[in-house]
Structure 1
């Protein structure tokens, strides 16, 4: 059963309150936004040119660099001082495995999303919050505090990597990208992760696992349902199946470790159900810092 949307507003509020203590840790590599913050304290026009980025539909045509287009046949736009600030693209996996009944993952997903968004504000970052569906879409009111966000439906989205192929999020170049997901994706994660890291200042993968994800069911007859496809399977759990489960989970973790290492992403695994412990882990891995 998909998780109910209405039960998680308190989780956003709690996460927002906890996030007030933290700031998003900005990467040491030079961000356009960091330059903009420093220059913004000096005297000068608010329309001083600072940087370039690729053209995206909806950009002001007056900011297109036509000279660069003549040289490269690529559309680029000029960025000005008010546009070059650190930016967080927060990407939420709302597929079925994140919405299991009696699992703490849905609650912790909302809490961590609110924590990261609030910490981004403390770091003077702008933000966009994306969720999976039939492709990616923005969370309503995502430029407001998390307690004012629109609903985040869980359980009805197509799998993350399918959504990314169908309609990827419009991610800001040289932005900070944070993915909140259990990372239970079939197949090799490397192709999707390469797309996620392309053009980013940094990418943080926060793998959110429930305690029951770490251990297979106890021996006995069980009926399993694939949370992504709805397919069911009845089987008897014995020691061999339990050991195979652990090995499969280990292979999954190794595939993500390898993909993160190859793409320069940071992988952090946290356990759902204890937001405070998860935040401590994020701080230890330099994703968050005291405000």
Structure 2
């Protein structure tokens, strides 16, 4: 159930990521439960033992061990040969995909704005920690668009520029034309982005996931995310819905009762509907069942799924929900 409202959208870096929020999330980090075998030096340390600069533990010397790693101080004191073990540097990727389709341009604030703000905050956290950060948008007028992986705080404005362009395009009065192949398009886009990953890390998709056919139609997208998970990526869905989509009763003061003509923002199809209190109650049960089924289908594939209402302050999502959910630390 989609109600559009004309609202100004962020147009600057500071509007997309306020300095006050940047300062609060500056020390956070993206958490991966996978074991990493790093390729490049970075701030993060992996769990694989190798030759690096950070001491981890000792082990008894065995013939064939590198004598350069013998701790001669212990040998002098205890007359025992032991080898020093180190943690190897970890190189982690962070891949963020944002749904910019027409259905996202609803809610107050819009789901589109919320998702882009959240994506910017997550990207900033990854950049500050020297992770490889790539951001993609899909479903908008330009189809799948993706920013090449970047590192470091200095690239935050490049990420912001990409997201601001995506946000402006999705918020324009003339978004992508209506289409009937919504499920196929969604699945293909998510699969394309998931396949672009490299190395190891975390992938996060922000979308309302309003797809004809329900959870059953999302099989290819969920399987693509599951494949990323089996390839040493932690994968997450942030299911972004507006308050009105979760509970249309909140729109009664806008006349959402009686005989109405409702038009789907994605397909352009219209339907004549008599909206009553009982219909709203049935809808509410259906949307709750859908969010529950989506979470279960994702969990069965090793994907974490979180309901992220667009009315949630981004700082609450980042500092509370995702930290408690084990996505951030």
Q: Same fold (TM over 0.5)?
A: yes
1:7 to 6, 9, 33: 9
Whether contact under 8 Å (2:264, 2:270) holds in the other structure is yes
Alignment correspondent of 1:180: 206
2:323 to 274, 283, 288: 283
2:240 to 208, 229, 233: 208
Question: Which structure 2 residues correspond to residues 120-139 of structure 1 after superposition, within 5 A?
Answer: 120-133=126-139, 135-139=143-147
Deviation at 1:243, TM superposition (A): 2.2
In structure 2, runs of 5+ residues without a counterpart are: 55-87
Question: Which structure 2 residues correspond to residues 151-230 of structure 1 after superposition, within 5 A?
Answer: 151-152=165-166, 153-154=169-170, 155-156=175-176, 159=182, 161-165=184-188, 168-169=192-193, 170-187=196-213, 188=216, 189-200=218-229, 201-217=233-249, 218=252, 219-230=257-268
1:233 equivalent in alignment to 2:271: yes
Task: Report the more deviating stretch, 90-99 or 277-286.
Answer: 277-286
Question: Which structure 2 residues correspond to residues 249-268 of structure 1 after superposition, within 5 A?
Answer: 249-268=287-306
Deviation at 1:242, TM superposition (A): 1.1
Alignment correspondent of 2:36: 31
Whether contact under 8 Å (1:161, 1:192) holds in the other structure is no
TM-score norm. by structure 1 comes to 0.73
The number of residues matched between the two structures is: 251
Say if 1:240 and 1:11 are closer, same or farther in 2 by CA, change over 3 A: farther
Alignment correspondent of 1:21: 24
Say if 1:252 and 1:137 are closer, same or farther in 2 by CA, change over 3 A: same
Whether contact under 8 Å (2:187, 2:220) holds in the other structure is no
Q: CA RMSD in A?
A: 3.4
Q: Distance in 1 between matches of 2:307 and 2:107?
A: 21
Whether contact under 8 Å (2:134, 2:149) holds in the other structure is no
Say if 1:250 and 1:121 are closer, same or farther in 2 by CA, change over 3 A: same
Task: Report the more deviating stretch, 20-29 or 272-281.
Answer: 20-29
Q: Name the SS of the counterpart of 2:248 in structure 1.
A: coil
Say if 1:102 and 1:281 are closer, same or farther in 2 by CA, change over 3 A: closer
Task: Report the more deviating stretch, 156-165 or 276-285.
Answer: 156-165
Whether contact under 8 Å (1:88, 1:126) holds in the other structure is yes
Q: Name the SS of the counterpart of 1:241 in structure 2.
A: helix
Q: Name the SS of the counterpart of 2:212 in structure 1.
A: coil
Deviation at 1:112, TM superposition (A): 0.2
Say if 1:33 and 1:224 are closer, same or farther in 2 by CA, change over 3 A: farther
